Amino acid sequence: MKFGTYFAYWEQEWKADYPYYCDKAAGLGFDILELGGGALVDLNDSELSRIKSAAANAGISLTGCIGLPAAFDVSSADKNVRDNGLNLLRRILTALGKIDATVLGGIIYAYWPVDYSKPVDKPGVRARAIESLLSIADFDRENGVLLVLETVNRFEHFLINTSEEAVQLVKDIDHPNVKVMLDCFHMNIEEDFLGDAIRTAGKYLGHFHIGECNRKVPGKGHMPWDEMGKALRDIGYDGGVVMEPFVKTGGTVGSDIKVWRDLSGGADEKKMDEDIAEALRFVRSKFA
């Protein structure tokens, strides 16, 4: 397994100085830095090259993540919206290919967060998501980026809330470049037992997000880390395990993730670095 962190742990916006975080993540002992996929499309080739060089020099791998905005919903009943979403995904995947990133995950099969004031057409959304993902999967493979579909809780979306639903969707897509992405924050809400959910994903698991039930760094909550670690070893998982803690209020990140109180205990950047480095040591002891 390789261990990583999401840059947004430190940031209030989805755009950031990614070369800075390549150096920071590597210095804290991580193998992977996860970037905001949507922000990459606004960068020119020179800026992308700078990120690629920073990651290579730091000896760190890159991955990307996004929840598609409603205007780019690839499961929409409106073909123009679907086409906009597919075009955005192509642009993101092209950018990820230019920085040698290996994974694009998140809610890339619909839009996020879902608007429950509108009718829910789960069969229709599912069918259109499959069609869209099949159309993008070969393009994705050309860029060397694995597509991973994230399970999220019922309050954020309705299409895939459990490992079982995610595996079935991936089976129905039936493309070697599309796999499951689990996230233990969401699993804690939806799954009966997290270890069993990991075993259900099995060979289809392509990426794993981790964090505490309270969105803090691992080790500062009551998640069953031993149970998850055993399950990952049982399935022989050797992919990325990326921390996705959100502890600071403010900005687009705080608003989108619904962080309405400071979960860091007033930590400055140095203390946040210390906290996540300790979390990495904790997770390695449970998973490796």
Let me know if 244 is a catalytic residue: yes
Place of tokens 């459990």: 162
The active-site residue, picked from 11, 191, 212, 244, is: 244
Reading phi first (left if > 0) and then psi (alpha if -120 to 50, else beta), residue 258 is in left
> Can you tell me the distance from the alpha carbon of 181 to that of 155, in angstroms, rounded to the nearest whole number?
18
Got the DSSP string for the chain? -EEEEEGGGS-SSS---HHHHHHHHHHTT-SEEEEEHHHHTT--HHHHHHHHHHHHHHT-EEEEEEE--GGG-TT-SSHHHHHHHHHHHHHHHHHHHHTT--EEEEE-SS-SS--TTSPP-HHHHHHHHHHHHHHHHHHHHHTT-EEEEEP--TTT-SS--SHHHHHHHHHHH--TTEEEEEEHHHHHHH-S-HHHHHHHHGGGEEEEEE--TTSS-TTSS---HHHHHHHHHHTT--SEEEE-------HHHHHHHT--S--SSS--HHHHHHHHHHHHHHHHHHH-
> Can you tell me the distance from the alpha carbon of 214 to that of 218, in angstroms, rounded to the nearest whole number?
10
The active-site residue, picked from 150, 165, 191, 212, is: 150
Q: What are phi and psi of 9, to 5 degrees?
A: -55, -35
Q: What are phi and psi of 103, to 5 degrees?
A: -140, 140
Where in the sequence numbering do the catalytic residues fall?
A: 150, 244
